[in-house]
Chains A and B, each alone.
Chain A
Amino acid sequence: MLTASQPSPSFVTGSGPVAVSCKGVTKTYGKGDSAVRALRGVDIDVHKGELLMLVGPSGCGKTTLISVVAGVLDRDGGECSVLGQDFAKMNSGQKAAFRAVNVGFVFQAFNLIPTLTIAENVAVPLLIQGVGRKEAIKRARDVLGLVGLGNRTNDEPRRLSGGQQQRVAISRAIVHKPKLLVCDEPTSALDHVTGQKVMELLRSVAAGEDLSLVVVTHDQRIFEFADRIAEMDDGHIVRITQGQGLRTSASHDPAK
Chain B
Amino acid sequence: MLRIAISMIMGDRLKYLGLLVGLSFAAMLITQQASIFMGYTQRMWAPIEDQPNVDIWVMDPQVRSTQDAKHMQDTILQRVRGVEGVEWAVPMYRGSLNAQLSNGTQELSTLIGIDDSTLLGGPHKMIEGSIFDLRQADAVIVEKRAAEGDLRFNLPDGTTRPLAAGDSISINDRSARVVGICENNYPFYWQPVIYTTFSRAMLYAPQERKLMTYVLVDAKEGVDHQVLADRISAATGMKARTSWDFARMTMKYTLDKTGILVNFGITVGLGFVIGLLVCGQTFFNFIVDNTRLFGALKALGLSDGRLLQMIAVQVLVVGAIGFGLGAGLAAIAGMLLPYVGVGFYMPWQLLVGAGVGVLGICLVSAFLSAIRIVRLEPAVVFKA
Contacts and interface: CB of A to CB of B under 8 A. Distances in A.
B298 A115 contact: no
Interface stretch (A63-71, A140-148, A231-239): A63-71
- Range class of the A interface residue count: 20 to 34
Given A73-B379, A115-B10, A115-B11, A100 B301 contact: yes
A184 B302 contact: no
Interface residues of B, number: 29
A64 B300 CA distance: 17
Interface majority SS on B: helix, strand, loop or mixed? helix
Contacts of A92: 303-304
A99 B4 CA distance: 20
A96 interface: yes
A125 B300 contact: yes
A66 B300 contact: no
Interface of A: 63-64, 66-67, 70, 72-73, 92-93, 96-101, 103, 105, 107-109, 111, 113-116, 120, 124-125, 127-129, 133, 172, 184
A115 B3 CA distance: 11
Contacts of B296: 105, 107, 111
Contacts of B348: none
Contacts, number: 87
A107 B381 contact: yes
A72 B297 contact: no
B10 A100 contact: no
Residue picked from A63, A96, A98, A114, most chain B C-beta under 10 Å: A96
B300 A99 contact: yes
A105 B10 contact: no
B377 interface: yes
Given A63-B379, A73-B377, 5 more contacts: A66-B382, A113-B8, A127-B1, A128-B301, A184-B381
Contacts of A115: 7-8, 10-12
Contact of A116 (B4, B302, B305, B377): B4
A128 B378 CA distance: 15
B124 interface: no
Contact of A67 (B304, B306, B382): B382
Contact of A124 (B4, B12, B378): B4
B48 to A, nearest CB: 57
9 A-B pairs with least C-beta separation: A100-B301, A115-B11, A72-B378, A111-B296, A99-B301, A67-B379, A73-B379, A63-B382, A72-B379
B3 A133 contact: yes
B198 to A, nearest CB: 74
